[in-house]
Amino acid sequence: MTNRQLFLQHVAQTSDFPLMLEIEKAEGVYLYGTKGEKYIDLISGIGVSNVGHRHPKVVKAIKDQVDKYLHLMVYGEYVQSPQVLLAQKLVSLLPSSLSSVFFTNSGSEAIEGAMKLAKRFTARHKIISCFDAYHGSTQGALSIGGNEKLKQNFRPLLPSTERIRFGAAIDLERIDRYTAAVVVETVQGEAGVKVASTEYFQQLRKRCDETGTLLLLDEIQCGFGRTGKFWAFEHYGIVPDILVCAKGMGGGMPLGAFISSSEIMAVLRKNPILGHITTFGGHPVCCAASLATIEVIQEEKLIEQVEEKERLFFSKLQHPKIKEVRSQGLMMALEFENFETLKPIIDKAISNGVITDWFLFCDNSMRIAPPLTITKDEIEKASKVILEAIEIS
């Protein structure tokens, strides 16, 4: 049997229509198929490969760590240099109130831990999130997700969760003294790159302060330089109480974290002891890869290039069928009339060597979120393929 047949027979499927691309190598912004196909990856494995696939510095860090040790002990017991150095580096890139890092394996797990932390610290039960939000697919993360289609067949989920409209200041009145945390994507990803105003975020911060509610910002997709700032909340002049990150954090390795103050994080240490634990969270190889990823972002000045590359995409992707372009840095959405218009365009672009996608809760919009390392020439080449796909679809 072929690998494709075995994939369908033995690898649990997430839909009835997987992309079915068989990739044997990846490097930079390119994926290479088993029959000589070459693709420009404009979605970065859904926001993961911010420094490109197999960046040499990340690969070296992985190999160096593999030669030292792999898993040693459940998280939080042994002093492991990769964890310590990465935590120190992350904290150096954050306001002083965000000084304590809890490592996980993924964004969903980081959301789960952050919700537990908020409930434990505030001794409150209610969690507020936004309509069309996506925070992961584990039970707790799904409970605060903002799309009922994903949730309805898995109920009952967590009680005491409510939704508000992203960017609607009037809804902030629903944050009250019973609210443990408000969980908000700094840029809504699966809603199709929805951006709120600075005024909204500052009012959100103020309302949380007034009610003693923790502000939990989800930067799983929009962190690590994607928006033109290292952290997307830097655009808005606010500081969260808890920050969640993953995806682009690991340079291609599985890693997430929730970050808060030492005071808040301390509640997980007692009553009960080991209030939140993980076996593989903060795996030393993943942490080494993450530290190298941050160094690449800084040394290659990738964040400083984001705005110019965003503008280039804007200038190239002009077509009557494109109804709107939404973006925050290299996190972009091209809106079309409907999914029926968009899907053939995506399929044609892929067949011509450019990988794009749509969004979970906005299936009439094309996802563009390339590695930050993409060059101007590669942007022009990819944009030309997309425009040609629009013309003939």
- Do 21 and 71 lie in a common domain? no
Look at phi and psi of residue 166 and say left if phi exceeds 0, alpha if psi is from -120 to 50, else beta: beta
Separation CA 218–CA 184 (nearest Å)? 6
Residues present in the chain in total: 393
Say whether both 49 and 97 belong to one domain: no
pLDDT in tens, the chain (393 residues): 899 999 999 999 999 989 999 999 999 999 999 999 999 999 999 999 999 999 999 999 999 999 999 999 999 999 999 999 999 999 999 999 999 999 999 999 999 999 999 999 999 999 999 999 999 999 999 999 999 999 999 999 999 999 999 999 999 999 999 999 999 999 999 999 999 999 999 999 999 999 999 999 999 999 999 999 999 999 999 999 999 999 999 999 999 999 999 999 999 999 999 999 999 999 999 999 999 999 999 999 999 999 999 999 999 999 999 999 999 999 999 999 999 999 999 999 999 999 999 999 999 999 999 999 999 999 999 999 999 999 998
Query: Pick from 238, 267, 298: which residue ends a domain?
Result: 298
**38: containing domain:** 3-54+301-392
Residues 46 and 169 in one domain: no
pTM recorded for the entire structure? 0.97
Same domain, 216 and 252: yes
End of a domain among 298, 317, 341? 298
130 and 7 belong to one structural domain: no
Which of 298, 314, 346 terminates a domain? The answer is 298
Structure tokens at 174: 């629903």
65 and 129, same domain (yes or no): yes
Q: Output the CA torsion sign for 152, 155, 156, 159.
A: negative
Answer yes or no: do 132 and 258 share one domain: yes
The answer to whether 195 and 148 have CB atoms below 8 angstroms apart is no
Q: Give how many domains the chain has, as a whole number.
A: 2
Q: Are residues 70 and 25 in the same domain?
A: no
